[in-house]
Chains A and B, each alone.
Chain A
Amino acid sequence: MGSLTRFVITRIALLIPMIWLLVTIVFFLLRVLPGANPALVMNPKLTNEQVELISESLGLERPLIEQYFDFLIKTITFDLGVSYRTNIDIATELGLAFGPTLMLSVFGVLIGVPLGIVMGGVAGAHRERYLDHIIRLFTIGIYSIPIFLVGIFMQMFFSYFIPDIFRGNPTIYAILKEIFPPVSLMDAGNTGEFNHYTEIWLIDTILSFRLDLTLDLLTHLLMPSLALGMLIAGVIARQVRTNMIYHLEQEYVHFARARGIPENVVKYRYALKNSVVPTIGLISLQFALLLAGAILTETTFNIPGLGRFLFQSLQEKDFPAVQGVMVLFVIIVSIVSVIGDVLYALLDPRITY
């Protein structure tokens, strides 16, 4: 496995130029694109003096190249500037917002990936039959309905419609309201009740021995994770189904049957494994799409994560904050693509490295 170690190290080493390239693109895009120029898009409510002050603090009158190197050096030291909107160091803001997004993404993936694999596998194995049609209807729906609408429907249904049915029974009503809170990550006032060691609240509440708060957090995460999970499941299921149909026609499947290997093993161990492995590459490639999904989900459910932070910063034309989030996204997407590549190489012996 010496060559694998070498592959992993090379891939990680390549991360640095990759991130550098992407960060450079972000920098120039934000300055060159019409409408993206910070001098032009600054909050219209600011007075001229204020605009000048900000321009000066950003060094916007200096030559672009000079600004660029300044930006690079500051980025390396995690100095991303100060947010106009909150007046807080952007690196600190991102540190706070990272935890909720991480939790949401992890739960979304934990729900979406297995669900997508199972749905795609079953649909492919039942091609053009009843189950296939149902699953395809679902995946097409997920594709065509924007995820924030899915979120809003879920809120309406689980947080209001279902509890309202049980309005006559106060206990059930209260429990349902407790399980399906419509917004935010915790009930009001709870966020100050535990020690913020890591800002990943799931870990923090457990470390603070406040499992009641962990439970509160999990109930708040349930619906947004489901919404994001559905999006992920839809994307994966489509791909797995297509691969499954291809693999079930392959000679090795028929030859396995000719040796009496049971149908379930042939379909769900041989063909499905062959169908899932290449989707790992797809998942890491489409990770940007999932981030977009997370942004919309956070906004719908008012979760204080990176997505909501980006959304609010955009609304307020908080230029350094937007740039900071983009830089962080670039780093995340790059790291995920490396993890995807390494996983793929581990699972598919035909990948040479």
Chain B
Amino acid sequence: MTSSILSSARKTQSNDRYYNKALLEIKNLIVEYPVKEGNVRAIDDVSLTLYRGEVLGLVGESGCGKSSLGFTILKLLKGGVIRSGEISFNDINLVTIPEGEMQLLRGPELSMIFQASQNALNPLQKVLNHFIDTLKTHYRWNDESWQKILELLNRLEIPESRLEDYPFQFSGGMQQRIVIALTLILNPKLIIADEPTTALDVLVQARLLEILKEIIKEYDLTVLYITHDLGIVAEITNRVAIMYAGQILEIGDTQTIFQNAAHPYTRALIEAIPNVKDEEKKLLSFIPGHPPDLRNPPLICCFADRCSYSQDICHSKKPQSINLNFENGVQHKVKCFIYDDRYGHLFDQK
């Protein structure tokens, strides 16, 4: 526990190391899945910047669009359509890039660790051949390739002797390590990690998280870390974005979010973290109501129906993103009328 507090302290000190060179910039992105009854708006006007060398957490309830955002960045949407917006990666516009060029970027430039699942590996292919195919797609095979594979196996504690085994012969935790190794083997500049540890049991998860943290630091990776576990967010991220109903409601420095959350939804989320030691919080608190239907959403605050602070304005207009200033200087944005100079007074009575 103490070590994690120390490490977050270090993070705060080195803040200025990050936040100057953007690697990925998303602007006003809208993504929809066309369905029979209309359109499911999975990404609703999302703007987001990922800086080189940072770990940005993306947190939100199930179904809020986290994976969709990841797949959009990789241009691997299953049935989804980018309606508008920009995604620029290293000054390349990913929205308009032809698929042939995008395929070359996937892997060595940007890649994704898949949501922990038993199905991420080809059942009929030996693990070694997964590595060989992946490397050969992008590089000429040589002695170094071998060294690379062995080094990563070693880092992720995968026994080298098992390279000739098939995926089904591995435990879930080991499969997930292989998935991570397959992503890292190409040295991608940007990694989208989609709940890489969620399906694993607590101990396996803790160890894997430890390894991931070391690797991220050592390889100086830029990571979009998708999870709904705030404990992991505290462990591993520099900044965090709170996603709800396809929108980013709040984004800022991880410590600030935990200590000084601005958005009512973020606060409710943090309140809801179960705490074994704290007697009062032993009862799991939860947010009444459920997320709105993403099909053809109305132009109002998406959290208004569940928000204990909500006023008439929240039910009649859509809030814009507002910059907040905290003393550590890290950009902090929130989508809530409470912080809007024009409407803030409406909430004063509360």
Contacts and interface: CB of A to CB of B under 8 A. Distances in A.
Contact of B112 (A258, A261, A349, A350): A258
B119 A260 contact: no
Contacts of B111: 258-260
B65 interface: no
A277 interface: yes
A259 B124 contact: no
Contact of A251 (B117, B138, B166, B182): B117
Give chain A's interface residue range (CB within 8 Å of chain B).
Answer: 20 to 34
A259 B168 contact: no
B120 A260 contact: no
B103 A259 contact: no
B121 A273 contact: no
Given A254-B76, A260-B138, A274 B124 contact: yes
A260 B121 CA distance: 15
Interface string B65-80: 0000000001010100
Interface string B129-142: 00001100110000
Interface residues of B, number: 30
Nearest to B70: A258
A218 B137 CA distance: 43
A86 interface: no
B125 interface: yes
Contacts of B112: 255, 258
A261 B121 contact: no
A252 B123 contact: yes
B137 A251 contact: no
B179 interface: yes
Nearest to B108: A260
Contacts of B133: 256, 261, 265
B76 A257 contact: yes
Contacts, number: 78
Interface string A259-291: 111110100001001100100000000000000
Interface string B163-175: 0001010000000
A290 to B, nearest CB: 26
Contacts of B296: none
Nearest to B179: A255
A348 interface: yes
A262 to B, nearest CB: 6
Chain B CB within 10 Å, residue with most, of A258, A261, A350: A258
B123 A274 contact: yes
B186 interface: yes
Given A259-B186, A260-B137, A252 B119 contact: yes
Nearest to B107: A260
27 contacts: A251-B117, A251-B119, A252-B119, A252-B123, A255-B179, A256-B133, A257-B103, A258-B183, A259-B106, A259-B134, A259-B137, A259-B186, A260-B104, A260-B111, A260-B137, A260-B186, A261-B133, A261-B137, A262-B103, A262-B137, A270-B125, A273-B124, A277-B124, A348-B124, A349-B166, A349-B168, A350-B123
Interface of A: 249-252, 254-263, 265, 270, 273-274, 277, 347-350
